[in-house]
Amino acid sequence: MSFDDEIESFIGALRFEREMAVNTCESYGRDLAHFAGVMKLQGCSSAGDVTRADIDAYFMLERERAMASTTRARRLVALKMFYRHLSERRLISSDPTSLVDRPKKAKVLPRVLSEEETFLMIDEVKGDTPRDLRDRAMLEVMYGCGLRVSEVCELKIDDVVSDGELLRILGKGSKERLVPFGGAAAKAFADYISSARASFAKSAAFSGYAFLTRLGKPFTRQGVFKVIRERAAAVGIAANRISPHVLRHCFASHMLQRGADIRAIQEMLGHADIGTTQIYTHIDSGRFGEVHRRYHPRA
293 catalytic per annotation? no
Q: Is the dihedral of CA 245, 247, 253, 256 positive or negative?
A: negative
CB 123 within 8 A of CB 232: no
Q: DSSP 3-state assignment of 169?
A: strand
Q: Which of 15, 177, 245, 287 is an active site residue?
A: 245
287 catalytic per annotation? no
Neighbours of 92 (CB within 10 A): 18
As a whole number of angstroms, the distance between CA 236 and CA 129 comes to 22
End-to-end CA distance of the chain: 66
Task: Name all domains of the chain by residue range, CATH numbers in brackets.
Answer: 3-88 (1.10.150), 115-291 (1.10.443.10)
Q: Which of 28, 58, 192, 280 is an active site residue?
A: 280
**pLDDT score, position 293:** 63
- Note down pLDDT in tens along the chain; length 299 residues: 788 999 999 999 998 888 888 888 899 999 999 999 999 998 998 999 999 999 999 988 888 888 887 888 889 999 999 999 999 989 888 899 988 876 555 566 678 899 999 999 999 999 999 999 999 999 999 999 999 999 999 999 999 998 888 999 988 877 889 999 888 999 999 999 999 999 999 888 899 999 999 999 999 999 999 999 999 999 999 999 999 999 999 999 998 888 888 888 898 998 877 777 777 766 555 555 555 466 555 54
Find the helix packing angle between 3-12 and 22-41, rounded to 10°. Answer: 170
Q: Which of 75, 136, 197, 271 is an active site residue?
A: 271
Q: Which of 172, 187, 217, 287 is an active site residue?
A: 172
As a whole number of angstroms, the distance between CA 153 and CA 147 comes to 10
Residue type, 288: F
Q: Which of 136, 148, 231, 254 is an active site residue?
A: 148
Q: Which residue spans within 114-233 are E strands per DSSP? A: 160-161, 166-170, 176-180
74 catalytic per annotation? no
As a whole number of angstroms, the distance between CA 233 and CA 269 comes to 26
Residue 290 phi/psi, 5-degree rounding, is -65, -45
Angle formed at CA 120 by CA 212 and CA 233, multiple of 5 degrees? 65
248 catalytic per annotation? yes
Give buried/exposed letters for 241-278 (b at 16+ CB in 10 A, else e).
Answer: ebbbebbbbbbbbbbbbeeeeeeebbebbbbeeeeebe
Write down the pTM of the prediction: 0.64
Q: Is the dihedral of CA 279, 257, 147, 19 positive or negative?
A: positive
Q: Which of 72, 136, 248, 254 is an active site residue?
A: 248
Q: Which residue spans within 150-254 are E strands per DSSP? A: 160-161, 166-170, 176-180
- Alpha carbon 207 to its chain's center: 25
- Neighbouring-strand partners of residue 160: 167
As a whole number of angstroms, the distance between CA 297 and CA 209 comes to 54
Give buried/exposed letters for 200-239 (b at 16+ CB in 10 A, else e).
Answer: beeeeeeeebbbbbeebebbeeebbbebbbebbeeeebee
**pLDDT score, position 292:** 47
